[in-house]
Amino acid sequence: MSRFPRMHGMTLAAGGFIENLRAERLTADPTDLSAGRIWYNETEKALKFTSLDSSGGIVLHAIADEAQLAALAGRLSSVEQTYASTEFVEAKIAALGDALEYVGSVTPGVDEANALDLAALGNTSTGAYYKADQKGYVRVGAGDPFFVNRKDGLLFNGAGGVDVQDNTNSEVDGTDDYVLVTGSTDTGFTVDLAPALKARIADLEAGLANVAGRVEALEQGASSVLSAINAQRFVYQSSAAAVEHLVDHDLNSLFVAVDVWTEGGDGKYRKDIVDIEETNASRVTVRLTESAKIKVVVQVMEAV
């Protein structure tokens, strides 16, 4: 039986206190929580209590120790430093203002007398940026006119003047009788072959066409010659052995040269000296001493 009295409520006198108060010690947070309960979690080494939120629900709190409070203070200090740095950067950015603001294009005057007055433009604040849409002359107020190229940039500076952002010019040069270049940086360049070179190319093309025609004619002539030569020649081979062979060459010539090969017992043909009779302009008769197969070449010897 507990030797401590049970109390379900206690009211202290004004200015009263409880000496040596010790919260209940638990190894784990209790499950039967009610608002206002205080205990010490021995496992987590943390003093805890409960309260009610705005909807009447029970909320569990842990009282921070010295180390946790020190860590929180460090984090707060870091946040403050970051915020201070951000304010510094934002202030510098605000001080820059519009360092460069493209306004639009302008049209310079055609000569110094008609130079465009840039000071009369709608926006002449520092950083106002314009682009020249053609080459010509500009000035700033009563200042001297100066020349700008097409697409040059015109930037108002902090001293009330204008800086020219040069659109780098490119020069394109041709070569005599070979490459012709026309135009300018402002209008653009056109590169073409020089008329003299074009004429030379045309002559070469015409010459090549002429050579091609001559080659074609030579090929046709050679073909005709070969056809004529072949038309003056006749080749014959007998299908069976015989002592007399009639060779109808149909070359219509009485001036022919005849070569005869006879087949030997080994099946090979050898050029032979045999009796050859010019029977008529279209036939020769070959007579052998023994029956054999023959090969014959008849060639017209008259001029082609």
pLDDT at residue number 159: 85
What's the rounded Cα separation, in Å, for the pair 33 and 50?
A: 8
Residue 65's nearest CA partner among 82, 94, 37, 41 is 41
pLDDT at residue number 222: 86
Does the predicted TM-score (pTM) go above 0.75? no
Q: Say if residues 262 and 294 touch (Cβ distance below 8 Å).
A: yes
pLDDT at residue number 127: 86
pLDDT at residue number 284: 94
pLDDT at residue number 297: 95
pLDDT at residue number 186: 65
What's the rounded Cα separation, in Å, for the pair 113 and 104?
A: 24
pLDDT at residue number 92: 65
Q: Say if residues 50 and 33 touch (Cβ distance below 8 Å).
A: yes
Per-residue pLDDT 10s for the chain (304 aa) are 456 677 777 788 888 887 888 888 999 999 888 888 898 999 988 888 999 999 989 998 888 878 878 888 888 888 788 777 777 777 666 655 556 788 999 999 999 999 999 999 999 988 889 999 999 999 999 999 999 988 899 999 888 899 998 876 667 777 888 888 888 766 777 888 888 888 888 989 889 988 988 998 888 888 888 888 888 899 999 999 999 999 999 999 999 999 999 999 999 999 999 999 999 999 999 999 999 999 999 999 887 6
pLDDT at residue number 169: 64
pLDDT at residue number 174: 79
Residue 49's nearest CA partner among 69, 29, 78 is 29
What's the rounded Cα separation, in Å, for the pair 234 and 54?
A: 127
